[in-house]
Structures are given as C-alpha cells and as structure tokens.
C-alpha cells in the first residue's frame, strides 16, 4: 500500500508544476522530492510527470490520478478539521446513566455545564444501577452516576464524588409524635414506605433489619422516588430515602430525619466508567467539571 505522504508530495508538485517551488513549500530537499515521486511512480507502475524547461507537467494518467488525490485529500483535510473542532470546542454526545435518587444532584451540574459547552448533547437514562451497568458494559452508555455498588465488578472504575446516607424521614406531625432516638423494633410498628425492588434503598433497608434480627413489612412499595416523598409528606408513613435526595424538603422543614438505634448506613456515590475505555474529551470534561465543582 502506498504511503499517503507520497500522494501529498505528488499533489503539491502537481499544483506548483515545479520541483523547486514544491521543495520550498514542503521544506523538503529537491533530491528527496524527486526520489519520492520516483518511488510513487514505481509503486503505481505509471509515469506521473513529464519534464519541461519550466518544470514538470502531469501526464494523462497523472492528471486522472491528480483529480482523485485532490478529492481524497480534501476529505482527509475535512476529517482533520472535524477532529480539531471536536477537541477545541467540545461537542458530540455524553450518554449518562443515573439512578432516579441522584437526578436532583445532576440537574444543577447539567444546567451549568450546558451553558458552558452548548455544543455538547447530553442523553440521560434513569434505569436501575444494575441495568445501567449492563448498558455501560455493552457500550450504550459512557458513564454512570450512582451509589457505590456493594460488589463493584472488576471491569469497572469508581470515581468518588461524595458521601451521603440512607435515612428514615417523616412529616412534621408524625415526627413530633415519635420518641427519639428510636430503636428499629419500635420503628417497624409504624408504616414504612420504600422504593420497590430492585432499588438500592430497598435492599439496604432489608439488610439493616436483617442484621438486627427484624423484618420490615412495607406498607407501600413505590417505583418513583418523588412519589415516595409525596406520600411521606402527607403522613402516609415513614419513608426510607437517600438523604441527598431530600435535602430541599429537609431545609424547608417539610420532612424531618428520625434518629435511630443503630444509625442508618452511610454510602458513597460517584461516577462509574469502564476500565480500559477511552472516553471522549467531552466526557472527560464533564467528569472533571463535576469533581471540580462538587460541594
């Protein structure tokens, strides 16, 4: 296969119709250019140039090859420009998987990131962490933002953003009627509201009670985190949620954290990527943006 640089040299010589001028433009010696043209002619098995007193001119076959090379080099130049534009301006698409409980965290980052990089498209998938990991491993996602899984698979990389905790929460009326701190055995006497299986919070609360030789009988299992919060705010029961997800409600005193004995588990959350996977500049910029601006 012919080295593409030989075609570039051929193209510049043909444009200038002069070895000396081509030598100056390419910053290559005249003998070297002559040798490169000879190598190209030998490889193709045709004569590309005829010598004249003023320089060189294309042979009939050389003219045909010149037109093809001109089109090919134009395409290559366009590709290189696209790549340069991609690197310089950040564009393309970032495919993010995120658990519903962390969507609120992501919203502010996306809003400010988009204002800074309006050419980057962001796609969000809110399946369970387990399902998102499968999509990541199959190349359908670039990264996942989620809680640290109990067993992180060997082909995955976890970049920590921060820590939070699971908490039992109640509205003001119910909260004021509870004696705190509460033992878990007393807590289960009240209606417990959970996200349905296979959410992380569901398995977390089941594990917490099992470790304390108790069973939790949820009054309501809900797929949506926001609906769980709504039912908790109207006093339907005690919700088990990620603290990070209800910071607004806690701040506005719509919900209150119930102190328990033992304390509820703390968890780390962050970004999961595939090991040995080369991320785009846009993805790396997004990750760096989150890590730089995390609270």
Rounded to the nearest 5 degrees, what angle is found at the Cα of 142, between the Cα atoms of 140 and 147? 105
Q: What's the pLDDT score for residue 88? A: 58
pLDDT digits (tens, 9 = 90+) for 212-226: 998 877 666 777 788
3-state secondary structure of 116: helix
Q: Is the pTM of this model over 0.85?
A: no
Between CA 94 and CA 113 the distance in angstroms is: 12
Residue the block writes with tokens 């705010």: 233
pLDDT digits (tens, 9 = 90+) for 181-220: 999 999 988 889 988 777 778 888 888 988 999 887 766 6
Between CA 107 and CA 119 the distance in angstroms is: 18
Count how many residues are written for the chain: 295
pLDDT digits (tens, 9 = 90+) for 8-46: 999 999 999 999 999 998 899 999 999 999 999 999 999
Between CA 291 and CA 115 the distance in angstroms is: 17
């Amino acid at each position: 296969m012919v080295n593409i640089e030989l075609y570039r040299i051929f193209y510049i010589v043909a444009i200038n119709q002069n070895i000396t001028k081509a030598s100056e433009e390419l910053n290559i010696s005249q003998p070297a250019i002559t040798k490169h043209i000879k190598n190209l002619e030998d490889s193709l098995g045709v004569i590309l140039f005829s010598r004249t007193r003023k320089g060189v001119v294309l042979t009939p076959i050389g003219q045909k090859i010149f037109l093809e090379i001109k089109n090919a080099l134009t395409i290559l130049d366009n590709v290189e420009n696209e790549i340069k534009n991609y690197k310089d301006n950040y564009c393309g698409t970032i495919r993010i998987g995120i658990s519903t409980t962390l969507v609120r965290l992501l919203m502010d980052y996306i809003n400010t990131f988009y204002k800074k990089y309006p050419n980057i498209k962001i796609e969000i998938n809110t399946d369970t962490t387990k399902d998102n990991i499968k999509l990541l491993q199959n190349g359908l996602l670039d990264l996942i933002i989620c809680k640290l899984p109990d067993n992180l698979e060997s082909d995955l990389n976890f970049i920590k953003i921060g820590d939070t905790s699971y908490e039992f929460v109640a509205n003001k009326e119910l909260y004021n009627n509870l004696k705190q701190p509460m033992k878990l055995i007393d807590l289960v006497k009240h209606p417990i509201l959970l996200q349905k299986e296979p959410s992380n919070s569901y398995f977390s609360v089941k594990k917490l009670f099992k470790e304390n030789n108790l069973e939790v009988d949820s009054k309501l299992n809900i797929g949506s985190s926001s609906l769980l919060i709504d039912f908790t705010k109207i006093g339907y029961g005690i919700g088990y949620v990620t603290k990070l997800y209800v910071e607004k409600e806690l701040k506005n005193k719509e919900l209150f954290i119930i102190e328990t004995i033992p304390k509820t588990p703390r968890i780390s959350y962050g970004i999961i990527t595939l090991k040995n996977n080369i991320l785009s500049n846009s993805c790396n910029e997004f990750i760096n943006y989150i890590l730089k601006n995390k609270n």
